[in-house]
A and B are shown apart, each in its own frame.
Chain A
């Protein structure tokens, strides 16, 4: 017996119920609910939910490590099986219950969602204060939190998928929140459709598991419950137990499909193009959904399904490669963007790439820990950026900022802290998480150490582009009168920023691990029951080396940025002059949007147009018309016999009579 079922059930019910309550209340009452109420209700439910998470965390920690995972069934969702009855054979149909799992991984995610989410809700109270859609905004935000919690708590693949696409909808609604901006609407649609592709992949993966998963005895299980899946996925005594042998076709396909879902959610190549556009949404949305929580769900998925990926090395390798590749690509792009939010968005893509990479190589706790710290500092960066945008009156172009450091006494240091953490400067949280992650990359996974080398490169780029932002935006002279008249943000918007700054600075201690006296960090040991633990010390010094090189690279990137944008020692347009194609490639985001538009969207629309213009009228309707015209023609021909002339009537009559006479008289029948 683990933490009491009742407690888990009640806790889960509260976790899911509170935000849902907020959503229903706000959306059903709508305008009837005054902004004053919503201001408290919206963030309130989330913060209370966070309190619940804390309680559950404590309860879980109070347990021995062995039984920190509890699964409870909330209600029976579908039950198609029919028992055998009086000779009428029964059937094994599809069954699914709404069950939730409370375990360390779920709790970490829930903590991030409700904690960081709560802070961002508070922030939004200030940020959205003037907006007409204040209530609508909080309704969607609460819906998002609910969906996200469904996603991470679900103990059933179907409900994981349900949460998965509810999240997609919430993000769509929030991206297209300012629905009168065509650009926002388009971005929302783009995001949603990419998400749906991911959902489809997950659904197919679910089908494959449902059809193929066998128990130890080799009997088909027909289940989609996650605990059962993970319990049986490994090779058993029976020769085709689980999902077949390690690296088998089925399990590999399942892994790939799962990763497609993850990639869609986490904006990994090739489904990454929606994330930058998603910045059309309000900044808190970017902070909550597109930095802290939703986009990291892909990492969560891969980690959750690590038993499957451990069965499918090929799929895992694909995951790792795609992750690191995306990280590099996003880093390169981030160096040349001028929209402050887009820079941060690409850095998000890049960092998540690193996490995916880690999950791919099997460094699960490292991935999740980077997910945690990233949630802190990236939310921080977005909120700070939000303050900046708020300050300069909605301006997002770096080239029209500058000199803000002096006017925003709190936001500036907070942003810097976030940047340091992101860049992985020692003793900031990012340093701990990222260096551990990369250290694993040196010893684990496919094609070592080359993927690690790429990761190191990413380090340079990361610290370069983020400090590029720092220097362009906060230093130098104001580039516009708006920047000149900038003012610090109101208190309600500052408080969350500062809290997050604190967390971003110190969160690293959770992961302090030193080779000898503390081999495994607290965080890793906390997650251990779920994801196990990886050997981080293959050879003495290997990770020491990794640490040194990685740190050096981060600092190098910082220095480079300083040389370029502060000392002006290196001209900023060096690349664009020397290798313009490289600059264009980066500035145009490797032309993915154009490629997809030309390769997918246009052909489909053209096909549809072809159907509408040709197939429907010419072929389908045409066939009908053809029959009609044929009959009409026949009608005209027949009518031409009816000449009205007596003798012709008589002739035909006589002819047919003669025929009849011959047919019968000569007995031809």
Chain B
């Protein structure tokens, strides 16, 4: 790939936003056209990226990554390979805080230790983890663009904010520089905040405030952690950089070395090593974004009051960013702490699984209920990540894609119901399978995928995740498995409550219900097809992703204490054992 495809992917939605801005607000048709065209083109480019990635001779294995300035690091092999890297200094690498000469009459200077230049750069790259998420992002944004409700009063603003947030999300997925990452991470929040604030349901105001305060409060600590990483690594290796690949190498080099000479953190905080504090700061930000119980309370409110097409990408992608961050940043940057805190995070994940499932069981507001179900599913993803085994991580990656598709489908269905019956109370609806069989059928497939029906997408992911967890601790895996039983329960409650049962009962105005229009079918169909295809034949999705997953596990296994041998220790094949064909 000799042209900067990643940058183009990033700039395309931005250009689209400008194009929308140029269209007068009173021509919604044109705005929709631009919007759909842009998102569609982005999807096309994402597909190109995917194909190119798969076309690489050996996708995850083309040599070392990241430029290493320090001699001391050359022995360290790069754990993770990023493709299509583009790097450009961000308007001149920033040398903030260089010595400011101090002149006196004697013209002699106050000489002080020159602090390192803060050099962050515009550095993009993709690996097997991000390519699929990029494709998913593009797809969901396209679907969301089509799904914007008719007669949306402030369509123009919605379209622009949506495209800007797409830039932010893609930036998070593609950036390889910590500052750039944080930049996109926060920048994506602003349009999302306004989308929630300006276009949501009745209780949108508090929901939006809650959402953004939660997330920002978490990510501010991540910002501190990024700085801490920068200075700790710098103090130990003399390389001050925000560049992710380099920083990974640095952490690989300094791992296990005696704690930094930099006396970070006062005496109070000495009971954890700086790396562990930094890990916690990162993990906190991601856990809030995912979210993990008990940091989840922003989610049901936000999902309840978000508009449908907003939820398609908000629930579909944004919640994945947290999991993505856990994989992309926590595992390779903090191998040691990742293993130290593995039990904690697995416990939190299982808690989320069961808690979300139980809450979903009682919840009557469909959108909130899907929100809790989503918490449960994301718990699975985190469980898979922090099983720290190849199976679990592959499952988690796969499940991130699956869950994006499924949750989007569920919200589309919920939105279609809400649009028809002006209610989100599942007790009010009943027996819709009769009047609207098409919706019933599609909804059934999506719901089944949601409860982990085999040959539908999420079975594969959950199976692998449970396997990975089982390798570490069977107890957690069994507990998580109970989550699948509960999932079956609440999904059937939802589906049967809405679609089945006697619709001649009172309190239902559903007799004259209209079945889906062509557009609506066109919205759901691709999702359903994807669900089925991935479920029946997941091998292609994993084919190259597994290399990446392997690398992340290896990079995380650098943090494993040699004794005793972990159950998951088998992930790294011993020299003797030939991998099976």
A and B touch in the complex (CB under 8 A): yes
Instruction: Establish whether residues A621 and B297, one from each chain, have CB atoms under 8 Å apart when the complex forms.
Output: yes
Name B467's contact: one of A82, A210, A624 (CB within 8 Å).
Answer: A210
Instruction: Establish whether residues A620 and B391, one from each chain, have CB atoms under 8 Å apart when the complex forms.
Output: no
B231 beta carbon closer than 8 Å to chain A: no
Over the window 72-95 of chain A, the binary record of Cβ atoms lying under 8 Å from chain B Cβ atoms (1 yes, 0 no) is 000111111111111111111111
Q: In the complex, what residues of A have CB within 8 A of residue B486's CB?
A: 604
Given contact pairs A88-B77, A180-B431, A605 touches B297 in the complex (Cβ within 8 A)? no
- Give the Cβ gap from A197 to chain B, nearest Cβ, in Å: 6
Measured CB to CB, the nearest residue on chain A to B217 is A627
Instruction: Establish whether residues A611 and B358, one from each chain, have CB atoms under 8 Å apart when the complex forms.
Output: yes
Instruction: Establish whether residues A200 and B481, one from each chain, have CB atoms under 8 Å apart when the complex forms.
Output: yes
Instruction: Establish whether residues A166 and B358, one from each chain, have CB atoms under 8 Å apart when the complex forms.
Output: no
Q: In the complex, what residues of A have CB within 8 A of residue B570's CB?
A: 92, 220
Instruction: Establish whether residues B359 and A93, one from each chain, have CB atoms under 8 Å apart when the complex forms.
Output: no
- Complex interface: stretch among A157-165, A371-379, A495-503: A157-165
Interface centre among A79, A87, A94, A620 (most CB of B within 10 A): A94
A179 beta carbon closer than 8 Å to chain B: yes
Instruction: Establish whether residues B571 and A624, one from each chain, have CB atoms under 8 Å apart when the complex forms.
Output: no
Instruction: Establish whether residues A179 and B573, one from each chain, have CB atoms under 8 Å apart when the complex forms.
Output: no
Instruction: Establish whether residues B466 and A203, one from each chain, have CB atoms under 8 Å apart when the complex forms.
Output: yes
Over the window 195-210 of chain A, the binary record of Cβ atoms lying under 8 Å from chain B Cβ atoms (1 yes, 0 no) is 0110010011001001
Measured CB to CB, the nearest residue on chain B to A31 is B437
Instruction: Establish whether residues A180 and B500, one from each chain, have CB atoms under 8 Å apart when the complex forms.
Output: yes
Secondary structure call for the B interface: helix
Instruction: Establish whether residues B537 and A75, one from each chain, have CB atoms under 8 Å apart when the complex forms.
Output: yes
Instruction: Establish whether residues B500 and A80, one from each chain, have CB atoms under 8 Å apart when the complex forms.
Output: no
Instruction: Establish whether residues A81 and B579, one from each chain, have CB atoms under 8 Å apart when the complex forms.
Output: yes
Q: In the complex, what residues of A have CB within 8 A of residue B148's CB?
A: none
A400 beta carbon closer than 8 Å to chain B: no
Instruction: Establish whether residues B391 and A192, one from each chain, have CB atoms under 8 Å apart when the complex forms.
Output: no
Name B580's contact: one of A78, A95, A161 (CB within 8 Å).
Answer: A95
Measured CB to CB, the nearest residue on chain A to B214 is A624
Given contact pairs A80-B394, A165-B454, A611-B358, A91 touches B437 in the complex (Cβ within 8 A)? no
Measured CB to CB, the nearest residue on chain B to A158 is B463
Instruction: Establish whether residues B538 and A78, one from each chain, have CB atoms under 8 Å apart when the complex forms.
Output: yes
Q: List 30 A-B contacts (CB under 8 A).
A: A75-B539, A77-B537, A79-B546, A80-B464, A81-B580, A84-B573, A86-B61, A88-B554, A89-B554, A89-B572, A90-B573, A91-B573, A91-B579, A92-B577, A92-B579, A92-B580, A93-B390, A162-B454, A166-B453, A176-B496, A179-B500, A180-B500, A182-B502, A185-B496, A197-B485, A200-B482, A207-B474, A605-B361, A609-B362, A612-B363
Instruction: Establish whether residues A180 and B294, one from each chain, have CB atoms under 8 Å apart when the complex forms.
Output: no
A211 beta carbon closer than 8 Å to chain B: yes
Q: Chain A contact residues (Cβ within 8 angstroms of B): what range?
A: 35 or more
Q: In the complex, what residues of A have CB within 8 A of residue B499's CB?
A: 179
Name B488's contact: one of A185, A193, A203, A611 (CB within 8 Å).
Answer: A193
Over the window 613-631 of chain A, the binary record of Cβ atoms lying under 8 Å from chain B Cβ atoms (1 yes, 0 no) is 0001001110110000000
Docked complex: B435-478 residues within 8 A CB-CB of A: 437, 441, 448, 451, 453-455, 459-460, 463-464, 466-467, 470-471, 474, 477-478
User: Considering the chains assembled together, what is the distance between the CA atoms of A207 and B477 in angstroms?
Assistant: 10
Q: In the complex, what residues of B have CB within 8 A of residue A616's CB?
A: 297, 359
A399 beta carbon closer than 8 Å to chain B: no
Q: In the complex, what residues of A have CB within 8 A of residue B394's CB?
A: 80, 93-94
Instruction: Establish whether residues B433 and A608, one from each chain, have CB atoms under 8 Å apart when the complex forms.
Output: no
Name B455's contact: one of A94, A166, A180, A620 (CB within 8 Å).
Answer: A166
Over the window 535-576 of chain B, the binary record of Cβ atoms lying under 8 Å from chain A Cβ atoms (1 yes, 0 no) is 001110011001101110110000000000001001111000
Measured CB to CB, the nearest residue on chain A to B545 is A80
- Give the Cβ gap from A80 to chain B, nearest Cβ, in Å: 5
Measured CB to CB, the nearest residue on chain A to B298 is A624
Which 7 residue pairs are nearest across A and B when measured between Cβ atoms?
Answer: A162-B454, A179-B500, A608-B358, A207-B470, A93-B390, A90-B579, A82-B550
Q: In the complex, what residues of B have CB within 8 A of residue A180's CB?
A: 431, 434, 500-504
Q: In the complex, what residues of A have CB within 8 A of residue B451's CB?
A: 196
Instruction: Establish whether residues A623 and B294, one from each chain, have CB atoms under 8 Å apart when the complex forms.
Output: yes
Instruction: Establish whether residues A93 and B485, one from each chain, have CB atoms under 8 Å apart when the complex forms.
Output: no
- Give the Cβ gap from B220 to chain A, nearest Cβ, in Å: 15
Q: In the complex, what residues of A have CB within 8 A of residue B551's CB?
A: 88
User: Considering the chains assembled together, what is the distance between the CA atoms of A165 and B452 in angstroms?
Assistant: 10
Measured CB to CB, the nearest residue on chain A to B536 is A77
Interface centre among B434, B500, B571 (most CB of A within 10 A): B500
User: Considering the chains assembled together, what is the distance between the CA atoms of A162 and B453 in angstroms?
Assistant: 8
- Give the Cβ gap from B466 to chain A, nearest Cβ, in Å: 7
Instruction: Establish whether residues A77 and B539, one from each chain, have CB atoms under 8 Å apart when the complex forms.
Output: yes
Over the window 484-499 of chain B, the binary record of Cβ atoms lying under 8 Å from chain A Cβ atoms (1 yes, 0 no) is 1110110011001001
Given contact pairs A220-B570, A620-B296, A196 touches B464 in the complex (Cβ within 8 A)? no
Instruction: Establish whether residues A94 and B434, one from each chain, have CB atoms under 8 Å apart when the complex forms.
Output: no
Instruction: Establish whether residues A76 and B539, one from each chain, have CB atoms under 8 Å apart when the complex forms.
Output: yes
Instruction: Establish whether residues A77 and B496, one from each chain, have CB atoms under 8 Å apart when the complex forms.
Output: no
User: Considering the chains assembled together, what is the distance between the CA atoms of A85 and B554 in angstroms?
Assistant: 13
B273 beta carbon closer than 8 Å to chain A: no
Docked complex: A214-246 residues within 8 A CB-CB of B: 219-220, 222
A390 beta carbon closer than 8 Å to chain B: no
Measured CB to CB, the nearest residue on chain B to A163 is B454
Instruction: Establish whether residues B546 and A82, one from each chain, have CB atoms under 8 Å apart when the complex forms.
Output: yes
Instruction: Establish whether residues A91 and B358, one from each chain, have CB atoms under 8 Å apart when the complex forms.
Output: no
Q: Which residues of A contact B (CB under 8 A)?
A: 27, 30-31, 75-95, 158, 161-162, 165-166, 169, 176, 179-182, 185, 188-189, 192-193, 196-197, 200, 203-204, 207, 210-211, 219-220, 222, 604-605, 607-609, 611-612, 616, 619-621, 623-624
User: Considering the chains assembled together, what is the distance between the CA atoms of A578 and B434 in angstroms?
Assistant: 51
- Give the Cβ gap from B577 to chain A, nearest Cβ, in Å: 7
User: Considering the chains assembled together, what is the distance between the CA atoms of A188 and B496 in angstroms?
Assistant: 10
User: Considering the chains assembled together, what is the distance between the CA atoms of A179 and B478 in angstroms?
Assistant: 33
Measured CB to CB, the nearest residue on chain A to B551 is A88
Docked complex: B274-315 residues within 8 A CB-CB of A: 293-294, 296-297
Name A88's contact: one of B61, B390, B460, B500 (CB within 8 Å).
Answer: B61
- Give the Cβ gap from A328 to chain B, nearest Cβ, in Å: 29
Name A189's contact: one of B61, B433, B471, B496 (CB within 8 Å).
Answer: B496
User: Considering the chains assembled together, what is the distance between the CA atoms of A222 and B573 in angstroms?
Assistant: 12
User: Considering the chains assembled together, what is the distance between the CA atoms of A169 and B467 in angstroms?
Assistant: 23
Instruction: Establish whether residues A219 and B577, one from each chain, have CB atoms under 8 Å apart when the complex forms.
Output: yes
With contacts A27-B441, A77-B538, A91-B553 known, what are 7 further pairs, Cβ within 8 A?
Answer: A77-B539, A78-B539, A91-B550, A182-B501, A204-B470, A211-B471, A219-B577
Given contact pairs A30-B437, A82-B550, A605 touches B579 in the complex (Cβ within 8 A)? no
B58 beta carbon closer than 8 Å to chain A: yes
- Give the Cβ gap from B570 to chain A, nearest Cβ, in Å: 7
Q: In the complex, what residues of B have CB within 8 A of residue A30's CB?
A: 437, 441
Instruction: Establish whether residues A196 and B463, one from each chain, have CB atoms under 8 Å apart when the complex forms.
Output: no
Q: In the complex, what residues of A have CB within 8 A of residue B454's CB?
A: 161-162, 165-166
Instruction: Establish whether residues B485 and A193, one from each chain, have CB atoms under 8 Å apart when the complex forms.
Output: yes
Instruction: Establish whether residues B550 and A624, one from each chain, have CB atoms under 8 Å apart when the complex forms.
Output: no
User: Considering the chains assembled together, what is the distance between the CA atoms of A646 and B297 in angstroms?
Assistant: 45
Q: In the complex, what residues of A have CB within 8 A of residue B296's CB?
A: 620
- Give the Cβ gap from B499 to chain A, nearest Cβ, in Å: 7
Measured CB to CB, the nearest residue on chain B to A82 is B550
- Give the Cβ gap from B459 to chain A, nearest Cβ, in Å: 8
Q: In the complex, what residues of A have CB within 8 A of residue B185's CB?
A: none
Q: In the complex, what residues of A have CB within 8 A of residue B230's CB?
A: none
Measured CB to CB, the nearest residue on chain A to B296 is A620
Name B573's contact: one of A80, A89, A200, A621 (CB within 8 Å).
Answer: A89
Q: In the complex, what residues of B have CB within 8 A of residue A619's CB?
A: 294
Measured CB to CB, the nearest residue on chain A to B486 is A604
Measured CB to CB, the nearest residue on chain A to B77 is A87
B355 beta carbon closer than 8 Å to chain A: yes
Name B484's contact: one of A81, A196, A620 (CB within 8 Å).
Answer: A196
Instruction: Establish whether residues B478 and A204, one from each chain, have CB atoms under 8 Å apart when the complex forms.
Output: yes
Q: In the complex, what residues of B have CB within 8 A of residue A27's CB?
A: 441
Q: In the complex, what residues of B have CB within 8 A of residue A87's CB?
A: 77
Name A608's contact: one of B362, B482, B572, B579 (CB within 8 Å).
Answer: B362
User: Considering the chains assembled together, what is the distance between the CA atoms of A161 and B580 in angstroms?
Assistant: 23
Instruction: Establish whether residues B485 and A78, one from each chain, have CB atoms under 8 Å apart when the complex forms.
Output: no
